[in-house]
Amino acid sequence: MKNLFTYFIFAAFIFTIGAYSQINPTEKNKAAEYLSSKGEVYFSFTVFDKARVIEISKIISIDKLTGETVFAYANTTEFSRFLELNIPFTVLPHPGDADFDLNMKDSPAEIMEWDAYPTYDAYVAMMNQFAIDYPGLCRIVNIGTTVQGRQILFAVISDSVNTPQPEPKVMYTSSMHGDETTGYVLMLRLIHTLLSSYGTNPQITSLVNNSEIWINPLHNPDGTYRSGNSTVNGAIRGNANNIDLNRNYPGTDYYGTPSLQPEIINFMNAAGQYYWRLSANFHGGTEVVNYPWDCWPRLAADDAWWIRVSRKFADTVHIYAPANYMNEYVNGITNGYAWYYVHGSRQDYQNYYRHSREVTIEISDTKLLPPAQLPAHWNYLYRSLIGYLEQAQYGINGSVKDSLTDLPVKAKVTITGFDMDSSEVYSDSLFGMYYRMLIAGSYNLTFSAPGYYSKTVQNITAVNDQATVLNVKLRPITTGISSNNEIPNEYRLYQNYPNPFNPVTNIKFQIPASVETSRWDVLLVVYDILGNEIAVLKNAKLTPGTYEVEWNASNYPSGIYFYRLTAGDFSEVNKMVLIK
């Protein structure tokens, strides 16, 4: 039945392309063959009006724009819509089809020559071996599975990898386009280099000590292993559903209604959970650092910072690479929209919806690079890869805490008259740490959080490639949970202990003997940071005395919680922190 359905879809497509007179019949047949065998076709066409490219890019997946020549991919549905434009096109050899030996390896030891591609099973084994070999520095996190059930794996690297620390999370991913594989092997090599050089290389040791590094070498394993787990030959751009993952995020210029793919849903969930402060997404097909925005002609609030950081990445590469490497566009860098319009990119999603800082870095003109060239590309790039991650340490950073309890506060950090389009950042709820990467200058920072008086600190100086530490304490107004203490000297709600805690803490309270009623209705409730009731610890009539209640938070995530004691007209709230 499935084969019959495929036949009808293919026949309908052949009929459709026959309706357009300007389309070369030979190109029709080539397109049909690729769509039948791969589910996507790679092609080029000419557009003299760049404004028209914006409209075309909403139909198909543009790969790059060189002068007036557009290189693009399309699945069957997208290509049918493209044909309605009646634009002549040329079908190109698919970049994921290799005519050379890919030197596939099926064991971690063989891969560490770094001039070969791993089989999928070898990749999974290698990632797990990192954690086995370096248990104090590395753990592996699977954020979910793909359409075909393959794992989306991150290596997490830190000097105390199993214990949360007050340091920024930084993140790299590669090969969300499955046929762009140079970054795949380079990310594996970067993981190995960070782990094996820790303690001997001062720069790497400092980076690992002062940040939590997340590296996902292969974001689209279904696309890369389209032909099966034993080879990357035949890799495609899209996922198993032939969807371009870097066009599948909720848009920023308009939200749209994308049919989110499993790979995207998994990543969005992880981004919400881990709050990566600085990140990069590695691609292939050209050589350039592409900074925000992809979808907006207006410049980002941090445009000057982006240009500097991108320039530093490319210029460092130029010192170690041949003269013709990463030298096009603006000598190796470009504003995304100035290059060509993209809706639904991960770069824009991370920067707008997650208040992160992410670039897209294209690292090889050839998408499926001959494996013998991988070591050379590593030598071109690895210093820049390490240097970019260090940027999370710079700018203005510090902690935001409650002025009464000294507990961390999740606060919004805004630069007055500067921030726009979600460029503000947030402190985390575990440590109250914020990180605001900035171009050198003087800034006024406003800190605000629900239940606290806002605070503005003026004329704070940021220095390029240095950190300015600014710790702030906010004075509470209310927690957002009503608190009315009419008789403060008669009741007592003690601070829980331990605090912070994991996963059990004790809450102690006192009902004084001076109350007129022998038994009092007492309610002890736990709330999350948004004021939502999540647990009732005590709801009973109690006689005067001192009571202690245990709360087991095993089923709750790390973060700030509040607990409120209510007895008659008395109500009091305290804050506690769960760290897992």
Query: DSSP string of 244-288?
Result: -GGG-SPPSS--------HHHHHHHHHHHHH--SEEEEEE-SSEE
pLDDT of residue 544: 81
For residues 359-380, b (16+ Cβ closer than 10 Å) or e, as one string? bbbbbbbebbbebeebeebbeb
What is the domain range of residue 331? 104-370
pLDDT above 90 (res 59): yes
Q: What rounded mean pLDDT belongs to the chain?
A: 91
Q: Specify the CATH number for the domain of residue 42.
A: 3.30.70
- In contact, 62 and 70? CB cutoff 8 Å: yes
pLDDT of residue 540: 87
Burial, 506: exposed, middle or buried (Cβ in 10 Å; 0-12, 13-18, 19+)? middle
Q: Specify the CATH number for the domain of residue 130.
A: 3.40.630.10
Same domain, 30 and 51: yes
Residue 166 lies in a domain: yes
Least confidently predicted of 279-288, 336-345, 508-517: 508-517
Same domain, 339 and 279: yes
pLDDT of residue 557: 86
Residue 519 lies in a domain: yes
Residue 424 lies in a domain: yes
pLDDT of residue 467: 98
Count of CA atoms in the C-beta half-sphere (13 A) of 424: 17
Same domain, 350 and 423: no
Tokens 């959970």 locate to: 273
Give the end of a domain, one of 439, 474, 509. Answer: 474
Same domain, 301 and 432: no
Total Cβ atoms within 10 A of residue 260: 17
Residue 98 lies in a domain: no
pLDDT above 50 (res 67): yes
Number of structural domains (the chain) is 4
21: confidence class by pLDDT, cuts 50, 70, 90? low
pLDDT of residue 257: 62
Same domain, 181 and 212: yes
Residue 198 lies in a domain: yes
Number of separate helices (H) and strands (E) present in the chain: 14, 29
Residue 17 lies in a domain: yes
Give the end of a domain, one of 91, 112, 134. Answer: 91
- In contact, 124 and 151? CB cutoff 8 Å: yes
Give the dihedral of Cα atoms 424, 428, 432, 434; nearest 10 deg: -40
Least confidently predicted of 183-187, 369-373, 480-484: 480-484
Total Cβ atoms within 10 A of residue 146: 23
302: confidence class by pLDDT, cuts 50, 70, 90? very high
243-249 average pLDDT score: 96
* Tokens (6 digits) for 402: 């409650």
Same domain, 442 and 351: no
pLDDT above 50 (res 559): yes
pLDDT of residue 518: 54
pLDDT above 50 (res 266): yes
pLDDT of residue 221: 98
DSSP 27-71: HHHHHHHHHHHTSEEEEEEE-S-HHHHHHHTTTSEEEEEETTEEE
Q: Specify the CATH number for the domain of residue 421.
A: 2.60.40.1120
pLDDT of residue 488: 38
560: confidence class by pLDDT, cuts 50, 70, 90? confident
Same domain, 345 and 235: yes
pLDDT of residue 519: 63
Output the CA–CA distances (angstroms, integers) from residue 204 to 225, 276, 299, in the order listed: 32, 19, 33
483: confidence class by pLDDT, cuts 50, 70, 90? very low
Q: How many residues does the chain have?
A: 580
pLDDT of residue 8: 44
Same domain, 130 and 263: yes
More confident residue, 97 or 562: 97
Same domain, 175 and 73: no
Same domain, 67 and 111: no
Same domain, 45 and 87: yes
pLDDT of residue 7: 42
What pLDDT digit, counting tens, does each position of 399-427 carry? 999 998 889 999 999 999 999 999 999 99
What pLDDT digit, counting tens, does each position of 434-451 carry? 999 999 999 999 999 888
pLDDT of residue 363: 98
* Residues in Cβ contact with 573 at an 8 Å cutoff, skipping those fewer than 6 apart: 479, 481, 483, 493, 562, 563, 564
pLDDT of residue 580: 76
- Reduce the secondary structure of 453-508 to three states and give it as a string: CCEEEEEEEECCCCEEECCEEECECCCCCCCCCCCCCCCEECCCECCCECCEEEEE
* Tokens (6 digits) for 464: 């390029």
Same domain, 19 and 111: no
More confident residue, 60 or 545: 60
Give the end of a domain, one of 44, 69, 91. Answer: 91
pLDDT above 70 (res 110): yes
Q: Specify the CATH number for the domain of residue 518.
A: 2.60.40.1930
pLDDT above 50 (res 13): no
Catalytic residues: 362
Output the CA–CA distances (angstroms, integers) from residue 272 to 11, 45, 117, 536, in the order listed: 43, 39, 32, 27
pLDDT above 60 (res 25): yes
- In contact, 578 and 529? CB cutoff 8 Å: no
Geometric angle at alpha carbon 243, from 240 and 247, rounded to 5°: 145
